[in-house]
Amino acid sequence: MSRARSGGFLLLLLALATACHRRGRAATDQPPAVEDAPPEIVGVDWGCDVDAATWSFEIETDGWTGNGYLWMASGSATWERHPVYSVEAARDGSADRLAVELDIEPDPREVVLGSSTRFLCSDRNAMAFVVEVYSADGEAVADCRWWGVADLVGADDGGLPDCGTRLDTGDTGDTGDPGR
In a domain, 11, yes or no: no
What's the pLDDT band for 2 if we cut at 50, 70, 90? low
The rounded Cα 6 to chain-centroid distance in angstroms is 56
Q: What are 29-53's pLDDT values in tens digits?
A: 555 555 578 999 999 999 999 999 9
In a domain, 89, yes or no: yes
Quote the CA–CA distance of 25 and 140 in Å, as a whole number: 33
Q: What are 99-149's pLDDT values in tens digits?
A: 999 999 989 899 999 999 999 999 999 999 999 999 999 999 999 999 998
Q: Is 114 left (phi over 0), alpha (psi -120 to 50) or beta?
A: left
List of residues 6+ apart from 164 with CB closer than 8 A: none
Quote the CA–CA distance of 156 and 159 in Å, as a whole number: 7
Question: Can you give the residue range of the structural domain that contains 87?
Answer: 41-176
Give the DSSP letter string of 113-133. TTTEES--GGGGGGEEEEEEE
In a domain, 28, yes or no: no
In a domain, 86, yes or no: yes
**Residue 90 belongs to domain with CATH number:** 2.60.40
Q: What are 155-175's pLDDT values in tens digits?
A: 666 677 888 889 976 533 454
Quote the CA–CA distance of 125 and 121 in Å, as a whole number: 9
Angle made by CA atoms 99, 100, 104, in degrees to the nearest 5: 155
In a domain, 27, yes or no: no
Q: What pTM does this model have?
A: 0.74
Total domain count for the chain? Answer: 1
Helical (H) or strand (E) element with 16 = helix 3-20
In a domain, 164, yes or no: yes
The rounded Cα 127 to chain-centroid distance in angstroms is 21
Angle made by CA atoms 22, 28, 32, in degrees to the nearest 5: 100
Torsion of CA 52, 54, 60, 61, to 10 degrees: -160
In a domain, 169, yes or no: yes
